């Protein structure tokens, strides 16, 4: 469909098996993600792209541990293991990803003091990536979303895309979740309540 684009979220080494912030089941969704890429004429990839010492890394805080929460100027922020550091192999796309078809790569999380889950705007909810303008300028009205992790970057990309006026479908079977303290179920509920189609298939 000429008005439809596929967004593949953060299929990077650090989020896959053996990575610094591995999402359970991430490697298993690669065939489904690649099948979706093969079916779409317009493909966009997102890429977590943190500078070393990013404020969302637990290592940047004295005595902090990964997956704890601290208060940032924009609200509560989960602290993560160091991951997807710019220029490292962990930040590269998984070698099995059919990435050559991508027409655009959106890098996010490169502002040292702001974490970024959504491909549309960062966690301060003010700093925008410009993706919505790009999509609208090209005439896309419907977005299909897959990738990692369902309960963080996929969900926030879907929610923000819906708020930006796009028709959104998340291919849940082509995602995997961290599922921290029930985050998978919680974000599925938020997406469903936000008018996002969760029944699309790969």
- Whole-number Cα distances in Å, 80 to 66, 112, 198: 5, 14, 27
Q: Is 108 a catalytic residue?
A: yes
d(CA 11, CA 132): 21
Active-site residue among 16, 132, 153, 160?
153
10 as an active site residue: the answer is yes
Give the per-residue SS3 of 19-76.
CCCCCCCCHHHHHHHHHHHHHCCCEEEEEECECCCCCCEHHHCCCCCCCCEEEECCEE
Element (H, E) at 4: strand 4-9
CB atoms within 10 A of CB 14: 27
Per annotation, catalytic residue among 48, 82, 84, 108: 108
Q: Strands across the sheet with 142-148, in order? A: 104-108, 43-48, 4-9, 142-148, 167-176
Q: Annotated catalytic, 151? A: no
Catalytic positions: 10, 108, 153
């Amino acid at each position: 469909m000429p008005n439809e684009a596929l967004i593949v979220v953060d299929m990077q080494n650090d989020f896959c098996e053996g990575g610094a912030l591995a999402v359970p089941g991430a490697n298993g969704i690669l065939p489904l993600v690649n099948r979706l890429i093969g079916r779409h004429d317009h493909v966009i990839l997102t890429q977590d792209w943190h500078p070393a010492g990013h404020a969302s890394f637990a290592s940047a805080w004295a005595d902090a541990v990964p997956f704890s929460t601290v208060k940032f100027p924009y609200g509560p922020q989960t602290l993560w293991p160091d991951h997807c550091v710019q220029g490292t192999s962990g930040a590269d796309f998984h070698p099995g990803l059919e990435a050559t078809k991508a027409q655009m790569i959106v890098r996010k999380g490169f502002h040292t003091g702001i974490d970024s889950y959504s491909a549309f705007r960062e966690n301060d909810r003010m700093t925008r990536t410009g993706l919505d303008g790009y999509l609208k300028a090209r005439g896309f009205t419907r977005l299909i979303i897959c990738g990692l992790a369902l309960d963080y970057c996929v969900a926030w990309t879907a929610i923000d895309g819906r708020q930006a006026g796009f028709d959104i479908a998340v291919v849940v079977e082509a995602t995997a979740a961290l599922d921290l303290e029930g985050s998978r179920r919680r974000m599925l509920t938020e997406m469903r309540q936000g008018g996002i189609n969760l029944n699309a298939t790969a």
